[in-house]
Every structure is written in structure tokens, then in C-alpha cells.
A and B are shown apart, each in its own frame.
Chain A
């Protein structure tokens, strides 16, 4: 099975900061990597698919990069509504595993 490892597990940042979250797959997954945002008590929301494609309606401050086994989610200028937990997910092979999540908190 493919394991997904995110780092960091949590971070504290201020509004306006640039934030970077990384995700590493235990084997190559091409570009089959997605990023989701989840606010407390809500369903996950798709942000980025195929490693770097921005989902319709998602603000352009979110971007994704990488291929193979190393991937990055970047928020260029953190906004108050971005404080949430972020998950990566590989969809190359079943089981379609998620990373453990990165909680972005207010500094």
C-alpha cells in the first residue's frame, strides 16, 4: 500500500503569511495527488487536483506543485478563512490513502 506523509502536522501562522505544506508518497504516484481543506464540523473541500490544477472557485492564493513522490501545497497570503486542516490524497492505486493532515492555526 502507498503511505502518505504530510509535514508539518501543525503550524501557526499569521494573516498574510506564506504557508507551505509538503506531502510525500512512499512510492511514485505520478500526478495523482489531490489537496483538500477541512474546516471543523464540515466536509472536506477539494482545492487542488492532479498535483497542480486549481479546482474551480478556489482562490488563486492556493497552488500545488510536484510530481512523482514529493508534493507541495502553498498558500501565498494566508487569509482568516484559511485556518483549517489540510489533507493530501493519492489516487494512483487503491487504497486511496490520505495524509494524516496539517492543522493551520492562528499565531
Chain B
């Protein structure tokens, strides 16, 4: 059974850093596209970042230069390193598995989310 479990959220001051983790079961991150999506309180979904199986990474403009997506194949874990955090980064962060093929790309499994609160 495929499951995704996020961790690492919490309260951090503006300008601070936090690293989120996403540990899947039922598949390996090394050969899978993976993504982060966030949702601010009471707001819609916002795509944050994706890492392709070949290692290419892409980011939303709102986090480019501050956030870094990575994976540790030996630990089968996906990460999101978040630096220079701002109040507007406050959100629940979800990791998701991305399925990719001819004429399709979709997020089929999602974690339960981890809350990041940026506040002094």
C-alpha cells in the first residue's frame, strides 16, 4: 500500500529555516517524480516544487531562491529545505507522488500534510 508521511513542520520566526521530510512507503523516491504543494489557512492549493526522477528541479516563483527540494535515496525520503521564511509561507505543506507518462502527469498519492507557521 502506498503511503506518504510528512514531518518537520512547526513554528518558526520570520527569516528562519525549516526542513520538511516526506517518507513514502510502497515505492522508492529515486525513480519517481515527487512534488510539494501548500495550502495557506482558508486558501486554495498552491504548487511549490517538483523533482523529476533524473534530478531536475522546478519551483514556484514565490519560493525560488529560498526553498530547495531534494531526496535521499538511501533513506527513501523527500525533503523541502525552507530558508528565509516569511509570514506568507504559513501553510499546510503536502508532499505528493507524481505519475508521468505519454500525455499525462498527475498527483496520485498525497501525504496528510504538515503545518508550518511563520510568526514572531
Contacts and interface: CB of A to CB of B under 8 A. Distances in A.
5 contacts: A49-B108, A50-B106, A91-B105, A91-B106, A96-B35
- Interface residues on chain B, size class: 20 to 34
A30 B45 contact: no
Contacts of A99: 44
Given A43-B112, A44-B45, A96-B50, A32 B61 contact: no
Contacts of A91: 104-106
Q: Please report whether the interface of chain A is mostly helix, strand, loop or mixed according to DSSP.
A: loop
A97 interface: yes
Contacts of A31: 103-104
Nearest to B107: A46
B58 interface: yes
- Interface residues on chain A, size class: 20 to 34
Contacts of B61: 1, 95
B104 A94 contact: no
Interface of A: 1, 30-32, 34, 36, 38, 43-46, 49-50, 53, 55, 85, 87, 89, 91, 94-101
Given A43-B111, A95-B61, A49 B104 contact: yes
Nearest to A31: B103
Interface of B: 35, 37, 44-47, 50, 58-61, 94, 99, 103-108, 110-113
A86 B108 CA distance: 15
Given A46-B107, A89-B45, 5 more contacts: A44-B107, A49-B99, A91-B104, A96-B47, A96-B105
Contacts of B37: 44, 98
A87 B44 contact: yes
Contacts of A98: 37, 44-47
